[in-house]
Amino acid sequence: MAMQESAEVWKNTAAGMRWIKVLDRQNREVGKTIAGGRTFTISTFDRQSNQDMAAEPELDLFRNGTFVLVRQAEETQMDEVTSSDSMTDAELAGLVHEIMGKNVTIEQAIHKISSPVTLGRLMEALVIEDAPSSAVKAVKAKRNKVEPGVAVVEREVILPEEDYTPPMADAEPAPRPEPEPETEEESGTVAVTKPEPEPEE
């Protein structure tokens, strides 16, 4: 009997869905959608294939903090999946405990974290634990630094250009100019003149 393929269990820590590629039973490559906050099973081979397809190390979902390992398989090589960003919920809770107990400074805690997903999780955990606002702001500042798009989304007002004047909602529309009467040539009509009567003799 053929050996059953080893499988790893991971969790998508991101709020939104993520997409990976796996092999089906016919050995065909198919897409698989992972909902936010859900755990999923993947073979070690498929996980390695997805990591190989990542264009940059920070885009590797299995090392950048988006997916965290819940249970390793017999074939799992921990050096392939371990990083300062791939923190489990228990590890994150432990870090928050260290911060709240003032065993580490917030700067020391986030020094090696570069994933916006992990920084976002840490910020949420600090808010839940009622951490000092300075700690939350420090995490938020680093998250905005590594992912500038976050700062853009949080802006409430985007000022228009200086030479742009928005129309007033209550202003009355300007009166439309009266059209000038058309001449006979412009209107395309032909004037018909009646012949004058000849004088009687």
Is residue 156's pLDDT more than 90? no
User: Which helix H or strand E contains 33, and what residues bound it?
Assistant: strand 29-34
pLDDT value of residue 174: 58
What predicted TM-score, i.e. pTM, was given to this entire model?
0.62
Please answer whether residues 48 and 64 qualify as being in contact, where contact means their C-beta atoms are separated by less than 8 angstroms.
no
Burial (CB < 10 A; 0-12, 13-18, 19+), residue 28, is exposed
pLDDT value of residue 182: 56
pLDDT value of residue 147: 74
Q: Phi first, then psi: give them for residue 71, nearest 5 degrees.
A: -145, 125
Beta bridge partners of 30: 22
**Domain residue ranges in the chain:** 7-80, 89-149
Is residue 155's pLDDT more than 70? no
Paired tokens of 3: 């050996």
Tell me the pLDDT band of 42, cut-offs 50, 70 and 90.
very high
Is residue 146's pLDDT more than 90? no
pLDDT value of residue 28: 92
Is residue 4's pLDDT more than 50? no
Question: What is the residue type of 23?
Answer: L
Distance (Å, rounded) from C-alpha 187 to C-alpha 191? Answer: 11
Tell me the pLDDT band of 161, cut-offs 50, 70 and 90.
very low
Q: Phi first, then psi: give them for residue 69, nearest 5 degrees.
A: -75, 125
How do residues 43-97 score in pLDDT, each as one tens digit?
999 999 999 999 888 889 999 999 999 999 989 999 999 888 988 889 999 999 9
Paired tokens of 163: 């030479």
Please provide the average confidence, as pLDDT, over all residues in the chain: 80
Sign of the Cα torsion 161, 167, 169, 170 reads: positive
pLDDT value of residue 84: 87
Question: Long-range pairs for 191-199 at CB < 8 Å and ≥24 separation?
Answer: none
Is residue 107's pLDDT more than 60? yes
Chain-centre distance for alpha carbon 181: 60
pLDDT value of residue 166: 46
